[in-house]
Structure 1
Amino acid sequence: MNAERLKYLLERYRNGQCNEAELAEINEWYHSLNYDPADFNKWLEEESGAKELAGKLYMNFRRTTRREKAGRPLRRIWQAVAVIALLAGMAWSIRTYLLPSKAPADQLAAATITPGKNKAILTLADGSQISLDDASDGQLASQQGTSIIKAANGRLLYGVSANASGIDAPAALNTLYTPRGGQYQITLPDGTTVWLNSDSKLSFPVAFQGKERKVTLTGEAYFEVRHMTSMPFIITTGNQSIEVLGTHFNIAGYEDEQEISTTLLQGSIRVSNMLTKDAEVLVPGQQSQLSRSTGDIKIRQANTEEVMAWKNGYFLFDNEDLAAILRTVSRWYDVEIEFHYTGKHEKFGGTFSRSSDLHNILNNLQELGDVHFKIDQRKIIVTK
């Protein structure tokens, strides 16, 4: 198919004007793609609306590819958007030919709910609190020989001085809390780096002592643990305990979710139920799911792109329940969800930028299924 023909078909597709023969032609072109662009996600981040487009196309094409191997339709749609961009002139093409028409004004209330940002509260050992989004960059405090420094771009650093190991006292505990609509990055005293998602809490000592490095997590975080053979790193989340030496992994342990999910990207970790003592060892690409109700641990292959989407600046939903999607969205935009609709378990999918205003995401979800949203201050009302 030449570029002019593709432009013509895509414009008709955007406007909902394609007949059956034209839809079949687009579908045939889509299934013939072999393009695999390098660093295309970076370009998507820079082009406003590109991921919302991909989410819409993904769901439309998914209906014709349900028998394909899981994950393949999503990979193909990135290829599709990339090829479109090359044929039609990169950003100009995306804006001119591909982005859906502006939704009617009555679809959603004319309210702007902006996305979350780098925002967190640090609680020191004495109970005093520091609002990190209000604090100036530089040293915030010093405890037991450890300097606590706020760096640029939403980062908190714990630097241990040379004489800190000589302190003969229990390590002081600090807690980093990211409220709904917040996220933050912290480098712990041992050099481990943690990215904390919204509505999450990490408790840790200002200096690791003894034979273990122990922290406690509520919510979701991605860890890059510094390797220390003689001093394992242990994370407690609910009834789950994870032991590692040095590795990269993500934990999603929100208390309003039925399972604690742990996904390993690099290295090896041991996941244990602290009540039953059952344990499993994960290898890269695997995900454990510990049931809060039964305590059972199940292992499956993970969609690591979906798991890591939040850290990389976007939402990725692949055939997810509407209720689960909205719980995730509500944490980032700090809104309440009120259902007046029985289709909580209707399946949706797509990819959306976390820097987008909320109404853009809701408009796209409305186009994908028989669901409607109304914004009432900071409440999202869901109806059929």
Structure 2
Amino acid sequence: MSEENLKIADIIFAYIKGTITDSELGELTAWMDAAEDHRELFQQIMTSASYQNKETVYRRFDSYYDFDCLKGAIRKRKRSVWKYVAAAAVIVLPLLVSFLLQIKQEGIFPEERMREISLLPGKSLATLTLSDGSSRVLSLENFDLIDGSKRIVNDPDGLSYQVEDTSICGEIAYNEITVPRGGEYKVTLDDGTRIWVNSESYIRFPVVFHGDERRIWVSGEVFLEVTKDAERPFIVNTEKLDIKVLGTQFNVRAYPDEKCIQTTLVEGCVQVDNLRGKVAVLLPSEQLVYDALDGNHEVREVDTELYVSWKDGVYMFVSQRLEDIMSLISKWYDVDVFYQNSAVKDIIFSGRLKRYENAETLLRVFERLGGVKFSVQGKTVIVEDE
């Protein structure tokens, strides 16, 4: 590999890892704009399953520049192929802000393409419904209240149930938390179990767990860190499935408007049941995909980070359909999505989106990679063929 090519390979790896400098970013932009071959190489690296491995980046880069074998064939590819190639990039938003500013300064985007797209992220927001039917809007303000004899505390870390005396067992009281589109919330139950509740989701749970099980009801998406209690299994009830654990970390995605229910296990062990009995037992790094319409299911090994990173403020996509990515964006940014051309739904992207940033940069980069264009009218994102 020549010294120049080695330098570009180093820069691409820095881009993937988010450690690229402004000057390196300028070099990468100039290199990509210099030739269609360079864009295609960048695409090949970004769509590689092992793109985060430095050796793989170098090897892919070096083999690409074996011009005796490859250069002629690559230059014969028609540009129309590029338009519908599975577009992909690893996206670090703060980095790409400067990237797009540089693009605008250099005139690479026509001025009309730099139209404003403002998609503001969601925030900590939910509604708490108490056992007497009264409700309170939750945000990050500090307060505490009493539900019966139970103290409930809200602070910037979320809602927590602090019960000092559970010896008196009366009628079980239930609370509900409803998170709207554009919201999220964290809850700590009285047994210490922590729940991250994603946008457009709902949980119902007893203020104090009594008896020989701990059962809650879920709709939408939640991530749970369940406190271990060998005497009392923890059961998550969705419309179609029961997920039973003793102590573990896992994610449940069970939106009513989605065909499949996903259960992704990070650590521990869970048993998943439906109305007819046991469906599967999951081990760490396994995911159950359950078809809510016909009851068919699949257990597969996955990179759990792709399915649980939302709780840490990041969305990660690897070779995902644009429609699936926009479904996540619509819930968190509280927007509707309209497709002018249904074919664009199947374009494949990879990326990384910080949940608390404006989504404009993400959409701009998708546009630059080709095949799709975005505009915003009110609370609707319009997606069309480029």
Q: Which bin holds the TM-score, normalised by the shorter protein?
A: 0.7 to 0.9
One-letter identity of the residue aligned with 2:167 = S
**Cα-to-partner distance string for 1:72-117 (whole Å, 9 max, x where unaligned):** 124559999xxxxxxxxxxx99887898624554236424221111
Q: Give the secondary structure class of the aligned counterpart of 2:131.
A: coil
| 1:18 aligned onto 2:30 | no
Secondary structure of the structure 2 residue equivalent to 1:331: helix
Where 1:13 maps in the other structure, the secondary structure is: helix
Matched residue type, 1:373: F
> Which residue number corresponds to residue 145 of structure 1?
149
- 1:108 and 1:373 in contact (8 A); partners too: no
Q: Answer yes or no: is 1:120 the counterpart of 2:123.
A: no
Question: What is the CA–CA distance in structure 2 between the aligned matches of 1:375 and 1:333, rounded to whole Å?
Answer: 12
Paired residue for 1:165, among 150, 164, 167?
A: 167
The 8 Å contact of residues 250 and 263 in structure 1, kept in 2 or not, is answered as yes
Query: Are 1:234 and 1:243, in contact at CA under 8 Å, matched by a contact in 2?
Result: yes
Deviation at 1:172? 1.1
Structure 2: distance between partners of 1:197 and 1:294: 26
| Counterparts in 2 of 1:95 and 1:357: CA distance versus 1, 3 Å | closer
Could you tell me how far apart the structure 2 residues matched to 1:280 and 1:194 are? 23
Contact 2:51 2:57 in 1 (8 A): no
Unaligned 5+ runs, structure 1: 28-56, 81-91
User: Does 1:73 pair with 2:74?
Assistant: no
Tell me what 1:330 maps to: 330
- What is the alpha-carbon distance in structure 2 between the residues aligned to residue 93 and residue 3 of structure 1? 22
Give the aligned partner of residue 306 of structure 2: 306
Select between 337-346 and 196-205 the one with higher mean Cα deviation: 337-346
Mapped partners of 1:201, 1:78: distance in 2? 43
Provide the rounded CA distance (Å) in 2 between the counterparts of 1:348 and 1:95: 19
TM-score by length of 2: 0.77
Deviates more, 1:3-12 or 1:228-237: 3-12
Equivalent residue number for residue 45 of structure 2: 61
What secondary structure, in the 3-state scheme, does the structure 2 residue paired with 1:107 have?
A: helix
TM-score, normalised on structure 1? 0.78
- Aligned to 2:360, the other structure's residue is in SS state helix
Inter-CA distance 224–107: structure 2 relative to 1 (3 Å threshold): same
1:349 equivalent to 2:333? Answer: no
Structure having the larger proportion of residues in helix: 2
Let me know the Cα RMSD of the aligned residues. Answer: 3.0
Contact 2:190 2:208 in 1 (8 A): yes
How far 1:286 sits from its partner (Å)?
A: 0.5
Distance 1:94 1:237, change over 3 A: closer
SS of the residue corresponding to residue 310 of structure 1 reads helix
Q: Is the 8 A contact 1:14 1:98 kept in 2?
A: no
User: Structure 1's 172 and 94: CA in aligned 2 closer, same or farther, altered over 3 A?
Assistant: closer
